[in-house]
Amino acid sequence: MSTGVQPPRRHVARNPRRLTEAAGARVSSPRQTQKEATRAKVLQAARDLFDTQGYQGTTIREIARHAGVSVGSVFTSFASKGEILSQVMEARLDGLYAELDRVAPHLRGSTADQLRSMFAIHFAFEAPRTKLFLSHIAAAYDWTLSPQARPFGRTPRLRDLIREVLDRGVEAGDVDPAVDLGEVVELMLATYSWTYQLAIRQGADAKTMTEAMDRRIGLIAEGFKPR
């Protein structure tokens, strides 16, 4: 039978620090969302400008204006123009490397042929935005870049892919084990980037550049084949 008397309430100690952190999370969430939205706008604007004006021809101020944000907002998310380009290319190349990771184990033929197939995929992928990739290459010669920036040549995934093909070639007896494979990787990177000058001088398409790269890989393969 109810007596109408309520039991005494237990006093639960509250942690002020947890309350403050929870309140802070609720307050900062919209701010974080806005920061992410600004970052996305900056990357989109930068990608379009790098693809039309090139790396050297694009300024932080122009990126901010096209993104509809302040210059200060750009520097809140990025330390430099080189870092912005690095983020643009990283997001773009993720899809390419996912595809290469899928097909690389199934490449057939000689080591040279496997390298040809791999770079043909690269040229086809970059064809719609060749000027953007040229900006990526151009940034490699910007000596003022911070260590955080990743222009062409500092992207480890491409180096790894080339090296994996060469390592398989050594195991198959198709590549001389005495050859410095690191030097071969450097030659491949240099040849690949230089082949893009055909797009600048002649307006070459992916097919033309792939054919040129095929010939050049053949020359390099003469140097790493077993004696």
Sequence-separated (6 or more) residues with CB below 8 Å from residue 44: 67
pLDDT, averaged across the chain: 86
Residues 59-102 have pLDDT tens digits of: 999 999 999 999 998 988 888 898 999 889 888 888 888 888 88
* CATH superfamily for domain 18-78: Homeodomain-like (1.10.10.60)
Mean predicted confidence (pLDDT) in 145-163: 86
Angle, helices 181-195/156-171, rounded to nearest 10 degrees: 130
Provide long-range contacts, Cβ within 8 A and 24+ apart, for 100-107.
100/161, 104/161, 104/164, 104/165, 107/165
Q: Does domain 79-227 correspond to CATH entry 1.10.357.10?
A: yes
How many angstroms separate the CA atoms of 189 and 168, rounded?
18
How many angstroms separate the CA atoms of 51 and 106, rounded?
33
| Alpha-carbon distances of 154 from 89, 121, 160, rounded to whole Å | 12, 20, 11
How many angstroms separate the CA atoms of 216 and 120, rounded?
13
Domain boundaries, the chain: 18-78, 79-227
Q: Please report, rounded to a whole number, the percentage of residues in the chain having pLDDT higher than 70.
A: 87
Amino acid at 105: P
The structure tokens 């992928």 sit at 125
Residues 177-223 have pLDDT tens digits of: 999 999 999 999 999 999 999 999 999 999 999 999 999 999 999 99
Query: What percent helix, strand, coil does the chain show, rounded to 5?
Result: 70, 0, 30
| Alpha-carbon distances of 62 from 38, 70, 80, 82, rounded to whole Å | 15, 10, 13, 14
Say what the alpha-carbon torsion angle 11, 13, 14, 17 is, to the nearest 10 degrees. 170
The structure tokens 């054919």 sit at 211
